[in-house]
Structure 1
């Protein structure tokens, strides 16, 4: 009987953490078979058991987080399919290897520490995959806290407009090479990065005009449902489906990016 009560206790106590409708139905069915006194006893047994085994709650929390993230990524993949033209063909977004058959699109912020941490991985990926289109989406989400975030993004887009993809790539790498993130980026860092890119003058009017492109990127990010930076979308340039699009939130590794490319080419699961 105690084993019965313990099983019911766990069902009832964990039902609040479940996401599937069937869990709630099962818990409701179990609850209806017990008296008020038995329900009280069940609650006490559950509380004692969970105090003795807190790892159960941790495991449940991890599973639910994974389920929630999987749902978000599935939704984001569907949104990417609906917004593929904006992802793949926006002329204001810097592009390397434009003839690639698969595209990797990265949303990032120069002041994001995780973007900085993944930057070497991204550079390695770009070097090793000259047949993959790489698209940069400037998304300075920390701009309200650190204005240099927005300024760096605007100057970057201006560098791309005036100097092209190679110049932008040098600018981008130079900013991350400073190691100045989370509010440490300086106006001088931005100026020096532009010089290293080979663009010695960035007209103020042109730089400010890039705000429209940033607003467009922000609107796109909202439509895609992504919550932060970095965020990667990997998809074939032609023939994209919800099944061959990958969404990778957060700092990732080379293997994950490569696997997403193979999936987009039809070689992955």
Structure 2
């Protein structure tokens, strides 16, 4: 409710500023200070008596802010398109000649990523012709070392065993239900073994860390503020109309619609 009141106040302030500008342009004071104060009281009383007005104003302001943020995200994605298409070492699932690529920035300790994981798993299974890229962005590593540890293990599994083993590991980590500090080394090794990997040697950790750092820089260029961050766009001829950025957890239908748009079917 506090946020709603704040947004309604912003809207009222914007309207007042516009009114003042118009009055000044006309070269005359339309209302006296006393009258303006009384109008403010009447408006405040009306908003208290009709809270639905506040809710409607809040919704419109939020929709406008989200639309503006989406435009900013999309422009950033278009500027970094070439970098998003550089997939050396990045785990990918799907055909190399796909016309659409879905990129997810994620962290294994992120609870929102855990919520998004089964949705992503279903969408991957339903879109065999689409390429999915999984970019480790270990934003929780400073607090939970297992974030970096799990990403290193996954990247090394992908490098040695390929996409299917990687997807088994990736989805397996999320199926543990352990995140926000609950993921353990035992969890990671148990899932890695189930995916067909042998004991971790740590030999490739430097290469994994370098890729993770590259992903972090790319996420910052995109303007992402957290995980998950999903970019859906064509491999070629990406435009503002066929590119979608999904910052956060979304439904299967929303993600599918973004894919259809990128494919030219939406």
Unaligned runs of 5+ in 1: 1-12
- For the Cα contact (< 8 Å) 2:8–2:57, is it kept in 1? no
Report what 1:94 is aligned to.
Answer: 91
**Aligned match of 2:22 in 23, 26, 29?**
29
Aligned ranges 1:50-89 → 2 under 5 Å: 50-89=47-86
In structure 1, C-alpha distance between the alignment counterparts of 2:14 and 2:37, rounded to whole Å: 24
The alignment covers a number of residue pairs equal to 256
Aligned ranges 1:1-269 → 2 under 5 Å: 17-18=10-11, 24-26=17-19, 28-29=21-22, 32-99=29-96, 100-268=98-266
Deviation at 1:19, TM superposition (A): 11
Unaligned runs of 5+ in 2: 1-5
Report what 1:9 is aligned to.
Answer: none
SS class of match (1:98): coil
In structure 2, C-alpha distance between the alignment counterparts of 1:18 and 1:91, rounded to whole Å: 48
- For the Cα contact (< 8 Å) 1:108–1:231, is it kept in 2? yes
Q: TM-score, normalised by structure 1?
A: 0.87
SS class of match (1:105): strand
Deviation at 1:210, TM superposition (A): 1.6
- For the Cα contact (< 8 Å) 2:230–2:246, is it kept in 1? yes
Q: TM-score, normalised by structure 2?
A: 0.88
Deviation at 1:58, TM superposition (A): 2.8
Report what 1:10 is aligned to.
Answer: none
